[in-house]
Amino acid sequence: MESLWAPWRMEYIKGESPNECIFCLKSRPEEDRERMVLFRGEYSFVIINRYPYTNGHLMVAPFRHTVNLGDFTDAELIEIHRLVGLSCDVLKDCVNPDGFNVGLNIGRVAGAGIDDHLHYHIVPRWSGDTNFMPVLADVRVVPQHLEETYEQLRAAFERFKNRA
């Protein structure tokens, strides 16, 4: 029998969570690498999901702590949408997916793990990317370490930043 090694999942499995909102980080750019922030705009940012569904699973969140779409200004909404598009372009360049799932989970009953700070999920998908692991073992296999993914995507965001 072979083992699957995914030590970054232990925090999630144990239910450990930070005392503060993981998306409230506007005034702390010095923590971007540690927090896996890939790109910062004026109103929002792109971050790697530490508990990804697939390799390259990103999130776009506003700096402002709210979950109500009606609270955002037009400028905030436009930038968030542009960063979602930029994230898709970067992922196409780096991991060559066949498609994407892009969306919001608003409220705990809708699947939001963090339900008080709005964030979009960008999940790259490949033809045939569902295998026996989720069905038989309730496990997803992510083939690339998060640190390696971060370095690859951070460089790509730097190349694509003029599109933001």
Residue-wise pLDDT tens digits, 20-47: 788 988 788 898 999 999 999 999 999 9
Provide the phi-psi class of 56: left if phi over 0, else alpha when psi is between -120 and 50, else beta: left
pTM of the entire structure?
Answer: 0.78
Mean pLDDT of 124-137: 63
Evaluate whether 79 touches 59 at the Cβ level (below 8 Å): no
Q: Give the span between the Cα atoms of 121 and 124, in whole angstroms.
A: 10
Could you report the per-residue pLDDT of 70-106, keeping only the tens digit for each? 999 999 999 999 999 999 999 999 999 999 999 999 9
User: Using CA of residue 92, residue 95, residue 99, residue 100, what is the dihedral sign?
Assistant: negative
Distance CA 98, CA 54 (A): 13
Rounded to the nearest integer, the mean pLDDT of the chain is 83
Considering only CA atoms, which of 16, 91, 96 is closest in space to residue 58?
A: 91
The catalytic residue positions are 119
User: Rounded mean pLDDT of 137-159?
Assistant: 75
pLDDT at 77: 96
Among 85, 92, 8, 98, CA closest to 41: 85
Q: Is 78 helix (H, G, I), strand (E, B) or coil?
A: helix
Give the model's pLDDT for residue 20. 79
